[in-house]
Homo-oligomer: A and B are copies of this chain.
Amino acid sequence: MSETLTIFTYDWVPKGPRGFVRDLRLRWAAEEAGLAYEIGAVPFEDRQPSHFAHQPFGQVPFLTEGDISIFESGACLLHLAKKSEILMPRTPRGEAETTEWVIAALNSIEMVSVPWWFLGLSGDHENGLSGWLDSRLAHVETVLGGREWLVEGRFTVADLLMADVLRIPQVRARGDRPASEAYIRRALARPAFEKARADQMAHFAAADAKRGEG
């Protein structure tokens, strides 16, 4: 099999989630590290067994590389981080701290922020998870008040993921958290993020054109 690194996303999505679909996390990491990659696509509207074979929940992203197929953006990021010290320090302590913050972004923040956002889709941003979310965001604000980046004073894949989790507009609008806001801006100003975001937007715009929409 080819050893090409391929990042899979949907063939099309509605306008709302564009710029936030999680293949962006993998594109961003590959751009930071200068890794060559291709983009693959699976149908958004008619999810096939071949998609579920790679991603048992029918979501994206997943990546393939030779005989390896990985789903979960966090696992894909840890896989990419093994390829480049740009994404993760090579010391045992640096690896441990990068891994803990990758998982904290997913399991301490996103575990509350995504269900909170989901409940808020009906318009109610003051719901049963609001207090818990505010508490978690306050702890992150304390951490970010004391450091520029999460691990060893420099950007790692942990910052990529934490910034992507925190940049959701509804989360970002929640309370006054200046250190978090400055951190998000620092991360989003990176050329690799801008490239990844522009490429994702172009991918879905091309799909509109093909469908005769736009």
Q: A interface vs B, CB < 8 Å?
A: 56-59, 67-68, 70-72, 74-76, 78-79, 92-93, 96-97, 99-100, 102-104, 106-108, 110-112, 114-116, 118-119, 122, 127-129, 132, 136, 139-140, 142-143
Contact = CB atoms under 8 A, between A and B. Distances in A.
Contacts of A92: 68
14 contacts: A68-B93, A70-B97, A70-B99, A71-B104, A72-B99, A75-B96, A76-B100, A79-B99, A106-B106, A107-B110, A111-B114, A115-B115, A118-B132, A127-B128
Give the 6 A-B CB pairs with smallest separation, nearest first: A115-B115, A75-B100, A72-B103, A74-B103, A106-B107, A75-B99
Nearest to A63: B96
